[in-house]
């Protein structure tokens, strides 16, 4: 019996999102650690296409259908399942109407002949039918149950490792492949996972010297996020001439909390890229302290004249931090933190970020701070307690 069929555009959108999302390896509400811990079966294999079949389970209403693909398993990392070909239900479909035969061709767009990691659980084990691992909260399959992996099986080299370590090896293998889409997907999964070690450091160092701008940018950003201050030196030069990489690197700069990075962060303030300057100044303002005063105060003062308003705001706030004051939730400067060490004179106001960015007269705040810093520098420099 031929299945009832959905509107073609609805189905194509669903199939494309499912496969594209899986290949990209975007993690949803669940973390990868949760998937590794809770999925009954983790294996690697190759999808060989898909089809729509009518469900045969008694507890499913008539007219329901499955989006099913064949998976040829080559290695099992966790759980009990034999190698060979099984059917994997990627999605339960509910539809009426007609669907052209050509619509199922959408299932072959992304995964056919590509090796991947699959998190799944039995549906009808006796018939070798499985479904993607279910989200404990929603009880629905998630697109992040399929991840990119090494194009070749690594089972001989990692058979003594636990499932998490094996998965890490597979993702590292995928990150080094010539398939740029799979490589970028894998490195982003490693970035979100948070698992770190010598193998990943070696990978990131190698990818930082590659030729693909996007991958180089992500690799440098990951090194920076993981506290590798040495990555900043090469990132300064690379980001200036590679706009795509600059976007990745700028996000990692904002997260820096290591005072040892101050000197390299200051170098970004000479960039023509406003996004890089914003990110660097955001980090520098958070590093403002007695320890960094000598290096930062001239930089923060100079940034008050930056052509970008966000850079100006972060510089103003950094100067307020150096003055030993906290900015309260109303956007005004509170009393000095250092009891008994009042500022040389009342501090200028520091508005909230959105207020400053939307205020047509925001330059008034900057001028007040420039005047204050000039007077402090000339007449009464701030002294440490």
The 8-class DSSP code of residue 108 comes to G
- Could you tell me if 130 and 123 are in contact, meaning their C-beta atoms sit under 8 angstroms apart? yes
Question: 324 is written with which tokens?
Answer: 């030993």
d(CA 311, CA 289): 19
Overall average pLDDT of the 207-233 stretch: 95
Q: Who wins on pLDDT, 153 or 182?
A: 182
Choose among 28, 24, 130: nearest CA to 85: 130
Tell me, rounded to whole angstroms, the distance of Cα 130 from its chain centroid: 30
Tell me, rounded to whole angstroms, the distance of Cα 70 from its chain centroid: 30
Specify the pLDDT at position 12.
34
| Structure confidence by residue, pLDDT tens digits, 21-45 | 333 344 444 578 888 988 999 999 9
**153: pLDDT strictly greater than 90:** no
| Structure confidence by residue, pLDDT tens digits, 111-143 | 567 889 999 999 887 788 898 887 766 666 655
The 8-class DSSP code of residue 144 comes to G
Among 86-95, 100-109, 231-240, whose mean pLDDT is lowest? 100-109
3-state secondary structure (DSSP) of residue 55: coil
Which residues, in sequence order, are CB contacts of 300 under 8 Å at separation 6+? 284, 285, 288, 315, 318, 319, 322
Which residues, in sequence order, are CB contacts of 17 under 8 Å at separation 6+? 143
The H-or-E segment that residue 222 falls in is helix 213-225
In total, the chain counts a number of residues equal to 385
- Could you tell me if 365 and 346 are in contact, meaning their C-beta atoms sit under 8 angstroms apart? no
Question: What is Dmax (Cα atoms) for the chain?
Answer: 91
3-state secondary structure (DSSP) of residue 75: strand
Reported confidence tier of residue 157, pLDDT bands at 50, 70, 90: low
In degrees rounded to 5, what are phi and psi of residue 325? Answer: -120, 155
Which residues, in sequence order, are CB contacts of 15 under 8 Å at separation 6+? 50, 67, 103, 106, 107
Structure-token match 């194509």, residue found: 12
Using DSSP bridges, classify how beta strands 84-94 and 129-132 pair: parallel, antiparallel or unpaired: parallel
CATH 2.40.50 in the chain is located at 1-151
CATH of 1-151, one of 1.10.1420, 2.20.200, 1.10.287, 2.40.50: 2.40.50
Question: 364 is written with which tokens?
Answer: 């008034």
């Amino acid at each position: 019996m031929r299945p009832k069929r959905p509107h073609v555009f609805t189905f194509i959108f669903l199939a494309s999102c499912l496969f594209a999302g899986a290949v990209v390896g975007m993690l949803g509400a669940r973390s990868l650690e949760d998937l590794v811990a809770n999925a009954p079966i983790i294996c690697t294999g190759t999808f060989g296409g898909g089809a729509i079949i009518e469900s045969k389970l008694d507890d499913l209403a008539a007219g329901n259908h499955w989006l099913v693909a064949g998976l040829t398993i080559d290695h099992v990392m966790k759980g009990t399942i034999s190698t060979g070909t099984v059917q994997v239900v990627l999605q339960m479909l509910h539809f009426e109407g007609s669907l052209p035969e050509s619509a199922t061709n959408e299932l072959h767009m992304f995964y056919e002949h590509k090796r991947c990691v699959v998190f799944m659980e039995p549906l009808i084990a006796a018939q070798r039918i499985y479904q993607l691992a279910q989200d404990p909260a929603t009880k629905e399959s998630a697109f992040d149950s399929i991840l990119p992996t090494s194009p070749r099986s690594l089972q001989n080299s990692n058979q003594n490792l636990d499932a998490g370590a094996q998965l890490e090896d597979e993702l590292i293998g995928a990150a080094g492949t010539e398939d740029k889409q799979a490589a970028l997907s894998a490195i982003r999964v490693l970035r979100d996972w948070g698992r770190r070690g010598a193998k990943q450091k070696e990978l990131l160092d190698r990818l930082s010297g590659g030729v693909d701008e996007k991958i180089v940018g992500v690799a440098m950003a990951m090194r920076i996020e993981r506290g590798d201050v040495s990555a900043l030196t090469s990132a300064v030069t690379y980001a200036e001439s590679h706009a795509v990489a600059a976007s990745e690197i700028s996000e990692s700069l904002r997260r820096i909390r290591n005072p040892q990075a101050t000197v390299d962060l200051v170098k970004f303030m000479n960039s023509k890229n406003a996004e890089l300057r914003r990110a660097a100044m955001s980090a520098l303002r958070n590093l403002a302290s007695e320890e960094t005063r000598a290096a930062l105060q001239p930089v923060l003062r100079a940034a008050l004249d930056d052509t970008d308003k966000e850079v100006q705001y972060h510089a103003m706030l950094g100067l307020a931090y150096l003055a030993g004051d906290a900015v309260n939730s109303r956007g005004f400067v509170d009393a000095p933190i250092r009891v008994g060490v009042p500022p040389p004179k009342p501090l200028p106001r520091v508005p909230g970020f959105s207020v400053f960015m939307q205020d047509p007269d925001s330059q008034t705040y900057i001028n007040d701070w420039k005047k204050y810093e000039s007077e402090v520098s000339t007449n009464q420099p701030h002294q440490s307690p």
